[in-house]
């Protein structure tokens, strides 16, 4: 049983909050603040109760060394705007700047530490190396709060090892994520439909087998569709596709019940990924040479929407196309609209999918739950042990 922040008297305590602030940046500006917004309930509650709040997080993959392109400084500035209060920024993670900033914190104050992944020990496979970094983080705080759900499937120093060293609790975001995803693993209301898309295909194949055992139907779009089309012997043109994914797709098709996996019947294709490029709708099994699939076609979108309208439970991970470009956003909009209009309990999983619904101007409140963690949500419903949750439940 995980303890929560409501189980602790936090006034005056130094509370280290592991948040998920891994947001896209555009020229030093936060391009999508969905994950920052998701961290606000926990942070505002701790502020109101007089905690001295130390926020730690990662951004991108800087390779274990400082890289200004991945600094959390712009994120700290955006967090200050959303909180409507001053947020300090420490230019290191556990060094002199961090220690000084923490020492200066007053009750209700907030400091954001620099990117955890600027230190290679954060993600090290070596337990002792991670442990030393966790010791340094623990030295800054009296209580640890896990609220970065997007990282709980990683055995990282700030996710796992730190909880072995401090009294610990789950934040409100982690609580909400677990409660919603539990509804996709036990007592599922049927029909249960899964929609898979996006460009991060390899991660999803790991969960596909488990999803076949749970879902009544799996609707496949986005770049996820191309390995399946290739496995059926259809041309994929210059579409995003890795050769090793074709065998994985073939294995999934062999394992699936007849009709359980539904692939696109038509696609929107173009010679390049550009809004101004000439594009056309073609049959999914006849992508022309030199063309790439950039969205599901109108026939597929209508079919997917009809299926979603009959569902009782829906899990959606991955956009149906390159939604950032207007000519290729219709498929993603159709899937989202069908989920909103239907009566199913809906879970949107993954940062890219959440970003898509925000970019399309759709209200997150229209869905049952919008998860902040793509990989974490997939591994959760797959039944895997997530180190960052297991350590919270262990004591």
DSSP, res 241: -
200 included as an active-site residue:
yes
Closest C-alpha among 260, 282, 252 to residue 269: 282
Distances (CA, A) of 67 to 50, 92, 264, 375: 33, 12, 41, 25
Q: Which position among 47, 52, 155, 200 bears the catalytic label? A: 200
Query: Between vectors from CA 265 to CA 228 and to CA 354, what angle results, nearest 5°?
Result: 75
Given the structure tokens 């350590």, which residue do they identify? 391
**Is the sign of the CA dihedral 345, 145, 351, 255 positive or negative?**
negative
Closest C-alpha among 114, 118, 113 to residue 61: 118
Q: Bin 309: left if φ > 0, else alpha if -120 < ψ < 50, else beta.
A: alpha
Closest C-alpha among 271, 199, 269 to residue 234: 269
- Coil vs helix vs strand at 219: strand
The residue ranges of DSSP E strands in 123-265, in sequence order, are 143-146, 168-170, 192-196, 217-220, 261-262
Distance CA 203, CA 193 (A): 19
Distances (CA, A) of 303 to 216, 270, 296, 343, 347: 16, 22, 11, 17, 20
Enumerate residues 6+ apart whose C-beta is below 8 A from 346: 313, 314, 315, 316, 339, 367, 368, 369
125 included as an active-site residue:
no
Distances (CA, A) of 385 to 19, 151, 180, 368: 20, 13, 17, 24
Q: Which position among 14, 18, 34, 35 bears the catalytic label? A: 35
Closest C-alpha among 201, 238, 234, 206 to residue 220: 201
Q: Which position among 150, 221, 351, 373 bears the catalytic label? A: 351
Given the structure tokens 């200066």, which residue do they identify? 104
49 included as an active-site residue:
no
Distance CA 315, CA 330 (A): 19
35 included as an active-site residue:
yes
Q: Which position among 373, 374, 375, 388 bears the catalytic label? A: 375
Q: Can you read off the two tokens belonging to residue 246?
A: 């074709």
- Coil vs helix vs strand at 5: helix
Catalytic sites, residue numbers = 35, 200, 351, 375
């Amino acid at each position: 049983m995980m303890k929560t922040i409501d189980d602790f008297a936090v006034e005056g305590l130094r509370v280290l909050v592991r948040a998920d602030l891994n947001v896209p940046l555009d020229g030093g500006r936060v391009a999508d603040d969905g994950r920052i917004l998701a961290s606000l309930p926990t942070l505002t509650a701790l502020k109101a109760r007089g905690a001295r709040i130390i926020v730690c997080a990662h951004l991108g993959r800087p390779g274990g060394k400082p890289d200004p392109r991945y600094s959390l400084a712009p994120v700290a500035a955006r967090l200050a705007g959303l909180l409507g209060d001053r947020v300090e920024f420490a230019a290191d993670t556990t060094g002199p700047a961090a220690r000084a900033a923490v020492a200066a914190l007053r009750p209700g104050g907030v400091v954001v530490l620099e990117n955890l992944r600027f230190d290679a020990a954060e993600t090290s496979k070596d337990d002792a190396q991670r442990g030393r970094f966790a010791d340094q983080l623990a030295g800054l705080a009296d209580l640890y709060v896990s609220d970065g759900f997007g990282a709980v499937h990683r055995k990282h120093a700030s996710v796992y090892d730190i909880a072995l060293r401090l009294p610990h609790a789950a934040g409100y975001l982690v609580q909400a994520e677990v409660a919603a995803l539990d509804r996709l693993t036990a007592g599922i209301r049927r029909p249960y439909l899964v929609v898979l898309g996006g460009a991060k295909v390899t991660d999803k194949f790991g969960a596909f087998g488990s999803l076949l055992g749970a879902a009544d139907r799996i609707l496949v779009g986005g770049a996820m569709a191309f390995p399946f089309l290739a496995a059926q012997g259809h041309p994929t043109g210059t579409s995003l596709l890795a050769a090793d994914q074709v065998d994985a797709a073939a294995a999934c098709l062999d394992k699936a019940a007849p009709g359980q996996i539904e692939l696109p019947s038509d696609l929107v294709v173009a010679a390049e990924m550009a809004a101004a490029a000439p594009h056309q709708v073609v049959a999914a099994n006849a992508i022309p040479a030199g063309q790439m699939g950039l969205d599901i076609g109108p026939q597929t979108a209508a079919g997917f929407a009809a299926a979603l309208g009959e569902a009782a439970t829906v899990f959606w991970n991955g956009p149906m196309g390159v939604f950032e470009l207007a000519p290729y956003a219709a498929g993603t909009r159709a899937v989202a609209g069908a989920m909103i209009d239907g009566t199913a309990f809906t879970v949107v999983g993954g940062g890219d999918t959440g970003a898509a619904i925000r970019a399309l101007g759709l209200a997150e409140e229209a869905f049952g739950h919008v998860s902040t963690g793509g990989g974490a949500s997939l591994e959760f419903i797959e039944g895997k042990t997530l180190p960052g949750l297991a350590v919270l439940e262990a004591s």
